[in-house]
Chains A and B, each alone.
Chain A
Amino acid sequence: MSSTERAAAGTADYLDQRTGVASAVKGFARKIFPDHWSFLLGEIALYSFVVLLISGVFLTMFFVPSMGLMEYEGPIASMNGQLMSEAFASTLDLSFEVPGGLLMRQIHHWSALLFMAAIVTHMMRVFFTGAFRKPRELNWMVGFILMILGLAAGFTGYSLPDDVLSGNGLRITDGVVKSIPLVGSYMSYMIFGGEFPGEHIIPRLFTLHILVVPALILALIGLHLLFVVLHKHTQYPGGGRTDKNVVGFPLFPVYVAKAGGFFFIVFGVLALMGGTMAINNVWNYGPYDPSPVSAGAQPDWYMLFLEGSLRLMPGQTEFVIAGYTLSLNVLIPAVVVPGLLFTFLAVYPFLEAAVTKDKREHHVLDRPRNVPVRTGLGVAFLAEFILLALAGSNDLIATHFDLSLNAITWVFRVGFFVLPVIAFWVTKRICLGLQRKDRELVLHGHETGRIVRFANGEYIEVHKPISDEERWLRVNYDAHRPLEIEPREDSRGVRRKGFRKDQALQALSRFFYEDRVEPVTPAELAAAHSHGDHDSLGSAEDSESALAIAGAPRDAAPAPDQQSDDHGHMS
């Protein structure tokens, strides 16, 4: 044993005797994680948050959160001699006079954009694969709150430099708060400590940005990861993967190396972006003054949907009732629309559980095609979000594609109502189509393109049977059916309590599961293999015999010996 090994062993022993850490380390090191690139999306978010903390601490050393006015003297010619807040001046100083300051600021801002982008991408993966199902609904909520906190962190940080652009954002915030009926103007006074912009908002946002929000994010990240350990990681469907096992590699050494290395990749990409791509040049916008608004005044991308929502809303919806203004033109786009979008995200797992009445635990992910309505709703949501973000960039679309701003706005106004419906319908149809294709493949095998003519003149195409793994992937899912509810009246003719609620739930359940493609059952497979003339079997969607067996779809995975049945090669 070398001296370093002895030292390491000694240290480990010292720690273990005092903390009992060895069993935990052993447990973690042997913990199995499934492998898939999409499981790294959440890690991108985690690592960009770490980069945010590191670069943020650096910036805090030099930033002065004060709205006190001063005259700037420094290396930026276009700002020399101008009156500005200390917050803005210190942003200029830390960018141009602190060595490495501009790099740190740019890394910080790019990390913030990447943090939100990674959260959204990670959320999409979780949504479309159904990873939010029992037992992970609470972790979905934690993730949802983390996303909201990410927005809050981004918003409070974006406003700190006190430049014209961020001031415009605060002015919109002020308008949105004031549009809330009855309490709006009082809330605005409370937030800004008087009439906008006042002298308090920067220090207040600073406290939120460097203390409250990051502390909450850190705590919830801890909870988020704790849940992952408790629930174990989900895995994609595939040969041998069930709800009762985890197929993958141990944390040590494989994932320790992968995850550790990935941190440096994320840090490296962010450092490259911070080093080569300018972001938020506040000296271009100038110190905040409530009068100017420049063309192309937009928030960071994750708030762009709100900007778009405001831009699309017709202005005629402001009413004065008995001397009080009701600004529906601000209230609807800036409070109601995001409220609906976020509520959908927050409650979706619970909604799906209610219409499915599925109380089992799920650790194998869904293929998006196998839950057509969920996939359709997700794509519709994304379509709406992207449309609103584009509407928030309508001026840039107009200048870069030589279009009329007014025409774009009208197209988006119509699209706001129409596009999600089309996106939903098209996605659902594609999913059902893919499912039918899977059925076809399981029943008939791969087409080979080889045509054989029999002596009697009949032509057939030779089909190649699919492998066990391929079949497992395609039959091992649940095709949920609409809920069946108790009748309106019980046996004695008394009207049942809660019938209305059940009825509504059933209607929703029909919307989810009316159209479905059942997985191939062993009986169907056997039938397809035994008589070549299986066209007479019909589709399982309306086949009663299929419904009778489909009660246990998890058993549908065929036994390996069925593969050797060579009758099914030809159809």
Chain B
Amino acid sequence: MKALAARRHHRATPVVLLLLALLVTGGVYAALASSPASADTTMSDDIETGDKLFQANCATCHGPDAEGTESAPSLIGVGAASVDFQVGTGRMPMQANGPQALEKPVQMTAEQTRQLAAFVASLGAGPAIPTAEQVDPTLGDASNGAAVFRTNCAMCHNAVGAGGALSEGKFAPALWDVTPTHIYEAMATGPQSMPVFNDATLTPEEKRDVIAYLVEQREGSAGGLDLGSLGPVSEGLWVWIVGIGALIGCSVWIGAKSS
């Protein structure tokens, strides 16, 4: 220690210290910066694989550069959220022309969906896939969600999300089985006939409130069987089937016991 203390004022000290400092900094940098560097490679790998998947499954309609054709829209700027929704619910790749793309068994694995999303996201900035926290129904305010849903969504999707008809065979699907992430993505990207509710129209918090309201509806009805939550038409149908049906049955029974 004394030797070190004695050489503290050696004229080579600054140089040695500087070299040491550089070495440490360089070493620490190399150690810490290695992970972003490798992520970058994964990301670019994803984009590359996504590109291949895109060329194989989507380019026929959306064009090799994803710029769209007469039969399908451009995907530049639609964002990862759009891909995750369309592919994640099985709507894309589309198998048949019709009034609108139908939900069907999912065609891609979660991995492939992520790669496709990465590719499409790399084409231009667009809505990202929401985080788990953004779509957590327990963090949302169901009351506010109900109000937002009533003014923005219920006219097509029905008051509790049981679905409804649009023109020419198009329809707003029921929301009973849609995952919170897909609900969020649908609002952010506006698939099919649905309008886009971007963050200026509905804030991320409001979107989460809507999810909270919809998830709450899945718990069923306080009054018993919900009869499809379709309103007075199904109630009317059931009063004829169950009510009048049972009572005419009883009438015949009472009438038959006359003799």
A contact residues vs B (CB 8 Å cutoff): 35-41, 44, 77-82, 95-96, 102, 106, 109-110, 113-114, 117-118, 121, 164-165, 249, 254, 258, 261-262, 265-266, 269-270, 273, 275-281, 284-286, 289, 291-302, 304, 392-396, 398-399, 402-407
Contact indicator per residue, chain B 154-165, by CB within 8 Å of chain A (1) or not (0)? 111111101111
Query: Is the CB of B35 closer than 8 A to any CB of chain A?
Result: no
Q: Shortest 10 CB-CB distances between A and B: which pairs?
A: A301-B236, A295-B164, A37-B255, A278-B223, A294-B154, A395-B165, A398-B165, A404-B169, A113-B239, A278-B221
Quick one: which of B165, B248, B250, B256 contacts A295, CB cutoff 8 A?
Answer: B165
Q: Which of B163, B168, B235 contacts A406 (CB 8 A)?
A: B168
A110 to B163 Cα, complex, angstroms: 24
With A114-B239, A301-B239, A404-B99: A280-B165 Cβ-Cβ less than 8 Å: no
Q: Of A96, A117, A298, A407, which one neighbours B232 at CB under 8 angstroms?
A: A298
Q: Which of A292, A294, A302, A405 is in CB contact (< 8 Å) with B165?
A: A405
* Whole-angstrom CA separation of A82 from B252 in the bound complex: 50
A261 / chain B contacts, CB cutoff of 8 Å: 254
CB–CB A294/B223 < 8 A: no
B137-181 CB contact bits vs A (8 Å, 1 = yes)? 000001101110011001111111011111111011000000000
- Is the pair B254, A262 in contact by a Cβ cutoff of 8 Å? yes
Partner of B158 from the list A41, A78, A286, A296 (CB cut-off 8 Å) is A296
Residue in contact with A278 in the complex, picked from B143, B147, B154, B224, CB distance below 8 Å? B224
Docked-complex contact A269 and B159, CB < 8 angstroms = no
Q: Which residue of A lies closest to B98 (CB)?
A: A402
Q: B234: which A residues are within 8 A, CB to CB?
A: 396
For the complex, is B196 an interface residue (Cβ under 8 Å from A)?
Answer: no
Cβ of A114: which chain B residues have Cβ within 8 Å of it? 239, 243-244, 247
Q: Is the CB of A286 within 8 A of B224?
A: no
Binding site for A on B (CB under 8 A): 99, 142-143, 145-147, 150-151, 154-160, 162-169, 171-172, 213, 216-217, 221-227, 229-240, 242-244, 246-248, 250-252, 254-256, 258
Q: How far is the CA of A292 from the CA of B256 in the complex (A)?
A: 52
Residues of B within 8 A of A291 (CB): 151
Min CB gap A123→B, angstroms: 13
CA distance A300 to B154 in the complex (A): 19
Contact yes or no, B146 A286, CB < 8 A: yes
Known contacts A38-B251, A79-B146, A300-B235: A293-B155 contact under CB 8 Å: yes
Q: Which of A249, A273, A398 contacts B243 (CB 8 A)?
A: A273
In the complex, chain A residues whose CB is within 8 Å of the CB of B166: 405
Residues of B within 8 A of A277 (CB): 223-225, 227, 238, 242
- Chain B residue numbers with a CB within 8 Å of A295 are 154-159, 163-165, 172
Whether B235 contacts A284 by the Cβ 8 Å rule is no
- Contact of A286 with B165 at beta-carbon distance under 8 Å, contacts A296-B233, A304-B236 already known: no
CB-based nearest B residue for A262: B254
CA distance A109 to B232 in the complex (A): 11
- A284 touches which one: B160, B164, B242 (CB < 8 A)? B160
Given B145, B158, B216, B244, which contacts A294 in the complex, CB threshold below 8 Å? B158
The complex places the Cα of A280 from the Cα of B165 at a distance, in Å, of 21
Decide: A280 and B146 in contact? CB cutoff 8 A.
Answer: no
Q: A102-B223, A258-B254 are in contact. Are A80 and B171 (CB under 8 A)?
A: no
Give the residue name and chain of the A residue nearest to B163 (CB): A399
In the complex, what's the smallest C-beta–C-beta distance from A392 to chain B, in angstroms?
Answer: 8
**Could you tell me the distance between the alpha carbons of A402 and B159 in the complex, rounded to whole angstroms?**
21
Q: Which residues of B contact A262 (CB under 8 A)?
A: 250-251, 254
24 pairs, CB–CB < 8 Å, chain A vs chain B? A78-B142, A117-B244, A164-B150, A164-B159, A254-B258, A261-B254, A262-B254, A265-B250, A278-B226, A289-B150, A289-B151, A292-B155, A294-B154, A294-B164, A295-B157, A296-B158, A296-B159, A296-B162, A301-B233, A394-B165, A398-B169, A403-B169, A404-B99, A405-B168
| A266 and B247 form a contact (CB under 8 A) | yes
